[in-house]
Every structure is written in structure tokens, then in C-alpha cells.
A and B are shown apart, each in its own frame.
Chain A
């Protein structure tokens, strides 16, 4: 079945440093790759997404890159701030009625 692997499971950085989270997916038919930020007890919040016809997308301090051949995509956060601390999830899907398969999550901690 479809699978999304996400690494690392935890990431601790100093304020101002960059953070990178990586995901791989198994279903080559996937064409939509969103990233979510989730705070404890809250709903996932979309922070950026990318479609399969694009290799890179940037929104201020956040960027996502996609390598369709290798089935890899990554989230890059620059100039991290303490308020970036949360759990981040990648997901892949878009086909099969638009369903998404989520990665295992990365707990990001930004230390002031």
C-alpha cells in the first residue's frame, strides 16, 4: 500500500538556524504534497504545498523541494523562531479521490 516515510522524528535547533525535514513516498501516482504544522490538541494547519509539476516553492521563510524521480520531498525552514516549535507532518496523495497519506511527524523544537 501507499507509504510515506518522514525523518527525523525529532529535531532541535537554535533560534535563527535552519531546519530541514525530509519525506519519501511510495506511490508514483501521487501529485500533491502538503506540509502541515500541528500544535498540541489542535487541527493540522497547512503551511505550504507543492504539486508534482513544480520542483520548488517558497513562501517567506518556508520552502519545499520535490524530486519526483527519487520520490523525495523536503521542507526547509530558515531563520527559525521559538514559535516554529510544533509537530510537522508531510503528506502525499492527490489521486484516488484526493486522499492523503501522512508521514510519521517531526517534533521541532526551536531553542531561544
Chain B
């Protein structure tokens, strides 16, 4: 149980285009999901907290107009990287908390590798 999927697993896009990444909780409901970015040989940097039915909470320094987050259902959050640039190339990972559990445990997706050319 507690499986989180991401789609796509990897994507290559041209500079200036937008890319949407999906994060799904497959066997539990998640009112809260989190989006992280990880550059090579670095740590996971929290970008934003995605809240079902309301606006996402962005971490300091993360541009909310560039990284659009939509959490329209209890099992799906999407991250759209708008007007992508090569410096946005990174590994994007989502995680989700089980709304039906008192645990703080976060279940991670497999990640999406974005390359902007």
C-alpha cells in the first residue's frame, strides 16, 4: 500500500515551453502533497506544499507564477513548469501524506527528470 506515482518519468522540452508533471496517490487519499526539486549530488529542496482545494504554499525563493501547482482532487496534484529554461533542468519529486493516517510519513513518487534544451 501507500503508492505514489509520477508521470512522466522523464521529459525533454525546448526552452520557453511549459511542462506538466502529475503526482498521484494510488491507494490512499492525500489532502496534502509536496513538491521537491533535486539537482545532481544535492539534497531535496522543498518547493511548495500542495493543498487539495486551495492554493499551494510556496517556499521562499520559489516563483509561484513559474511553478504552477494545482491540487484538484484528493489523489492528484500537478506541477507545471512554465516558460522552462535550461536552469530548470532537474529531478522533480513529489510526496504525499495519507489523509486517513495520523502519521507524518510522506510517501514519495519515483521522480520526473526534466531536461530543458
Contacts and interface: CB of A to CB of B under 8 A. Distances in A.
B108 interface: yes
Interface residues of B, number: 23
Interface stretch (B12-20, B39-47, B69-77, B78-86): B39-47
Contacts of B36: 102
B42 A105 contact: yes
Contacts, number: 53
A61 interface: no
Interface in A83-112: 89, 93-94, 97-105
Contact of A99 (B49, B60, B93, B105): B49
Interface of B: 32, 34, 36, 42-46, 49, 51, 57, 60, 91, 93, 97, 104-106, 108-111, 113
Interface residues of A, number: 24
Given A1-B60, A97-B32, A102 B43 contact: yes
Given A98-B97, A102-B44, A49 B105 contact: yes
